[in-house]
Chains A and B, each alone.
Chain A
Amino acid sequence: MIVSKQKPIDEILAALAGDGKIFLIGCAKCATVCKAGGEEEVWQMQEVLTSAGKEVTGSVVIDEACHMLRSGRDLRAKKEMVEEADALLVLACGAGIQSISAGTPKKTVAGLDTLFLGNIRRFGQFEQKCSLCGECILTETGCICPVTVCPKGLLNGPCGGMDSGHCETDPEKECVWFQIYERLQAQGTVEKLKKTVPQKDFSKMLKPGKLGIGK
């Protein structure tokens, strides 16, 4: 899922300076799980905006704000409230916000910062394991991704800063190449570490990504 967190309220209010009437939008998927833009946060934001002297014309929590057609449809269902607003405040990830803004000429304000594609450790704890690099090497690395988990994204083993199996950037953290080494050892395939991995093909993650399935 996409991990996001709410921007500081001062920043949100500054972005809404001069806008008296606000329509609020949340997302029922990732932003809800992140407690950044679900029903509850939309409600709380409504209170904050009201006490800041703004009028909230209405709100909607879209089931997958990133879904362009669905977000357009949900906004049309609230047409009057949207029309009446000076600005839309969107509590969804960057993808969700842009699905919404693409469907309306209204001023749209981003209420969240979008962080990463995250795994859920437990409720409220997210960790980045994958960087969407377009060329998966997990089979070779014991299914631990050095592209993501190594701060340098090194492909051929640990850097000189590795110390007793820990990362140079954070002594609390295990070096990902140490993790890979231990795992491959346990699987009896540590010989895989002998293979030199050539320069990565970053053209596979050229922006903006686009994929049409089939045809």
Chain B
Amino acid sequence: MTSTLQSKLASGRFVLTAEVCPPKGSDCADFLEKSRKLSGLVDAINVTDNQGATMRISPLAAAALLVREGIEPIFQITCRDRNRLALQSDLLGAAALGIENVLALTGDHISFGDHCAGKPVFDLDSVQLLQAIKGLGAGQDLAGKSVTGAPAFFVGAAAAPEAEPFPLTFYKLEKKVAAGAQFFQTQAIFDPERLRLFSEAVRPLKVKVIAGILLLKSAGMARFVTNNIPGLKVPAPLIEELEAAADPLAAGVAIAGRLAAACKPYCDGLHFMAMGREDLIPEILKAVGGRWSAVGS
């Protein structure tokens, strides 16, 4: 079993992914509608896991709904809310439901979200979660017991190319790859030069790099993510550009397009975080140029 995303990347195809946040509730109509519209454009859709530690429908359920629709999901799974039993249990469930791509994450701290008084789990960290996924793939759980129908996931991990000090994060990236990560999806890139350096640094690890592009919808939102979203820092000149724009959303689309085009030479794909405005991704892609109308077909 090989995921389409995996085969496309293996064949050297430049891929596009986008994240869609599952709803806070059980009504998935809107989520599915957004995903359907995107599915013609991107190669896979990331389903986020209680993003920002805000409680939403299970990403496992949401990803399974996408599979049912014939849309390829990337199931994001974090260590914040599940111990090692629940993580492995959900991974086996994902495999049984036809989910082929997994993005293994630590997860934002619970203090950022809407259930701050809850007990964060972090029984495993992202490296250990990757080891667990590798183990399941080899037919064995973390207790050394055998499992039937070993899941063959295409496994990704997160990377923050602009985080300082980079050498410190690089140790962890090496561990992630040793633990089985086959691709990195990066945090939002604001400085393509940093992505270039990052890609050079990880080249010996022989993993695919999908660069994160964040749509900044306004100066206010840029400030909000800078202050509230872990690992995201929008540079001041970009905030000023949004501030000065007559149409901030259009300016945000232009910035995202500019960054996407500049990042393209240094990665194997682009990952869009459009924060609810997934409808604008085609517009962003225009700036990237080339054969994008054919992507996903």
A157 touches B175 (CB 8 A): yes
Interface residues of B in 77-110 (CB under 8 A from A): 79-80, 84, 105-106, 108-109
**Residue B230 contacts which of A154, A157, A161, A165 (CB distance < 8 angstroms)?**
A161
B165 touches A152 (CB 8 A): no
State in angstroms the CA–CA spacing of A105 and B2 once bound together: 67
Q: Could you give, for residues 102-120 of chain B, a 1 whenever the CB lies within 8 Å of some chain A CB and a 0 otherwise?
A: 0001101101100000001
Chain A residues within an 8 Å CB radius of B128: 155-156, 197-199
Q: Could you give, for residues 166-181 of chain B, a 1 whenever the CB lies within 8 Å of some chain A CB and a 0 otherwise?
A: 0111011011001100
A162 proximal to B (CB < 8 A): yes
A161 in contact with B175 given A155-B125, A178-B165 (CB within 8 Å): no
Chain B residues within an 8 Å CB radius of A196: 127, 131, 175, 178-179
B158 touches A193 (CB 8 A): no
B40 proximal to A (CB < 8 A): no
B164 touches A164 (CB 8 A): yes
Q: Could you give, for residues 173-209 of chain A, a 1 whenever the CB lies within 8 Å of some chain B CB and a 0 otherwise?
A: 0000110010000000000011011111010000000
B172 touches A156 (CB 8 A): yes
Q: In the complex, what residue of chain B is closest to A146 when comparing beta carbons?
A: B125
State in angstroms the CA–CA spacing of A169 and B168 once bound together: 19
Measured as residues with beta carbon below 8 angstroms from the partner, the interface class of chain B is 35 or more
A160 touches B168 (CB 8 A): no
State in angstroms the CA–CA spacing of A164 and B162 once bound together: 9
State in angstroms the CA–CA spacing of A131 and B178 once bound together: 29
B69 proximal to A (CB < 8 A): no
Chain A residues within an 8 Å CB radius of B125: 152, 154-156, 159
A181 in contact with B163 given A162-B231, A198-B128, A199-B124 (CB within 8 Å): no
State in angstroms the CA–CA spacing of A194 and B125 once bound together: 15
Q: In the complex, what residue of chain A is closest to B173 when comparing beta carbons?
A: A157
A181 touches B165 (CB 8 A): yes
B160 proximal to A (CB < 8 A): yes
A165 in contact with B164 given A153-B122, A157-B175, A196-B175 (CB within 8 Å): yes
B142 proximal to A (CB < 8 A): yes
Q: In the complex, what residue of chain B is closest to A168 when comparing beta carbons?
A: B230
B230 touches A178 (CB 8 A): no
A163 in contact with B123 given A157-B168, A196-B179, A198-B128 (CB within 8 Å): no
Chain B residues within an 8 Å CB radius of A202: 123
A159 in contact with B106 given A154-B122, A169-B111, A196-B127 (CB within 8 Å): yes
A173 to chain B, nearest CB (A): 12
B264 proximal to A (CB < 8 A): no
A171 to chain B, nearest CB (A): 9
Chain B residues within an 8 Å CB radius of A153: 122
B242 to chain A, nearest CB (A): 21
Q: Could you give, for residues 124-167 of chain B, a 1 whenever the CB lies within 8 Å of some chain A CB and a 0 otherwise?
A: 11111001100000000010000000000000001110011101
B189 to chain A, nearest CB (A): 13
B187 proximal to A (CB < 8 A): yes
State in angstroms the CA–CA spacing of A151 and B128 once bound together: 17
Interface of A is mostly: loop
A96 proximal to B (CB < 8 A): no
B258 proximal to A (CB < 8 A): no
Chain B residues within an 8 Å CB radius of A178: 165, 168
Chain A residues within an 8 Å CB radius of B106: 152, 154, 159-160
A202 to chain B, nearest CB (A): 7
A199 touches B131 (CB 8 A): yes
A155, A156, A178 pick with most chain B CB within 10 angstroms: A156
A156 in contact with B127 given A151-B109, A194-B171, A194-B174 (CB within 8 Å): yes
Q: In the complex, what residue of chain A is closest to B168 when comparing beta carbons?
A: A181
B34 proximal to A (CB < 8 A): no
A158 proximal to B (CB < 8 A): yes
State in angstroms the CA–CA spacing of A197 and B233 once bound together: 30
State in angstroms the CA–CA spacing of A159 and B80 once bound together: 12
B106, B159, B178, B187 pick with most chain A CB within 10 angstroms: B106
Chain B residues within an 8 Å CB radius of A193: 168, 171
Chain A residues within an 8 Å CB radius of B108: 161, 168
State in angstroms the CA–CA spacing of A152 and B78 once bound together: 12
Q: Could you give, for residues 82-105 of chain A, a 1 whenever the CB lies within 8 Å of some chain B CB and a 0 otherwise?
A: 000000000000000000000000
Q: In the complex, what residue of chain B is closest to A151 when comparing beta carbons?
A: B109
Given contacts A152-B80, A160-B163, 14 further A-B contacts (CB under 8 A): A151-B109, A152-B79, A154-B106, A157-B168, A160-B159, A160-B160, A160-B187, A161-B109, A162-B231, A178-B168, A181-B167, A197-B127, A197-B128, A199-B132
| Residues of chain A at the chain B interface (Cβ within 8 Å) | 151-165, 168-169, 177-178, 181, 193-194, 196-200, 202
